[in-house]
Amino acid sequence: MQIDNIIIFGSGFLAIKSLQVIIQKYDVVSVYTHPDNSGESLSDFCSEIGIICYRQKAWDDPKSYNLFRGYKNSILISINYKYIIPYNVFSIFNFAFNIHGSLLPVYRGRSPHVWTIMNGENETGITSHIIVKEVDAGNIIEQVKIKISKDDTGDTLLKKMSIIYPDVILASLNKIKLDIKPIIQDEAKATYYGLRTSMMSYLNPYLPTQEILNFIRALSGSYPNAYFFQRFGKKYFIEEVKVLKKTGAAIGLLEEKKDGIYLNCKDNQLKLIKFRIGE
């Protein structure tokens, strides 16, 4: 397939890093990002390099459809785009694919890198797949594995992925040009994880110690951190702990001592190393 033009749907540093590489080899004619566009601004980066960037849902503006149809041999690439792209948009393009942060068909859905750490996985990856009506269910174009270290957090794992994202995209575009047939996903192996909310970051002291540690590091950094309430209402956001021997204190008791803050869990006591008090 011939590739003349590319349109990006994306946001944040993953899209920025990828776009920096794509424009060296292909003509990117426009970019769509989120209206809120928080974090590292894709629209600001586009302004710097002279690419038109729309801060809206593409399907909010009927003019977008004519714009898409006006480009010959056009490709849509979705990179860290939080909206589900409807059929009447992606079907306009000659080819449309998404970059997803897991080894599909497992961990379809939102924030897969966080869920993989939380579930104690030691491996994940990046998958490019054709966009279809079902979320993350399209045929696989390219897939690369990534090791998860015991010290990885949600942030560090995402940074690992950001280095590989551009390579996966270029490899995918090359396969599209060569008409290499994508691989059908095995639905029997598919798993799905939904959007995480701050309410889901409550730390359960009755969990096994390793699950607690996975939970804390998965949410460490720029995510809604794991949190726990002190009995008088203080809310502790926890990013790092030290595991100590269990004491006779009640499970769930958070103790403020002269030498530190301690959380008593079912199997161990945890000393809070990196934390903040907030609302």
Per residue in 120-172, pLDDT tens?
Answer: 999 999 999 999 999 999 999 999 999 999 999 999 999 999 999 999 999 99
What is the pairing mode between strands 123-130 and 140-147?
A: antiparallel
Q: Are 155 and 215 found together in one domain? A: no
Q: Which of 136, 163, 193 is the last residue of a domain?
A: 193
Q: Are 127 and 222 found together in one domain? A: no
Q: Are 204 and 189 found together in one domain? A: no
The arithmetic mean of pLDDT across residues 15-36, rounded, is 93
CATH of residue 120: 3.40.50.170
Q: Are 27 and 88 found together in one domain? A: yes
Is the distance from CB of 170 to CB of 159 less than 8 angstroms?
no
pTM of the model: 0.91
Q: Are 182 and 230 found together in one domain? A: no
Q: Are 256 and 179 found together in one domain? A: no
- Domain encompassing residue 48: 5-193
Q: CA 169, CA 6: separation in Å to the nearest integer? A: 12
Q: Are 230 and 186 found together in one domain? A: no
Q: Are 124 and 235 found together in one domain? A: no
Please give the residue that has the higher pLDDT: either 56 or 175: 175
Our count of domains for the chain comes to 2
Q: Are 10 and 124 found together in one domain? A: yes
Q: Are 156 and 24 found together in one domain? A: yes
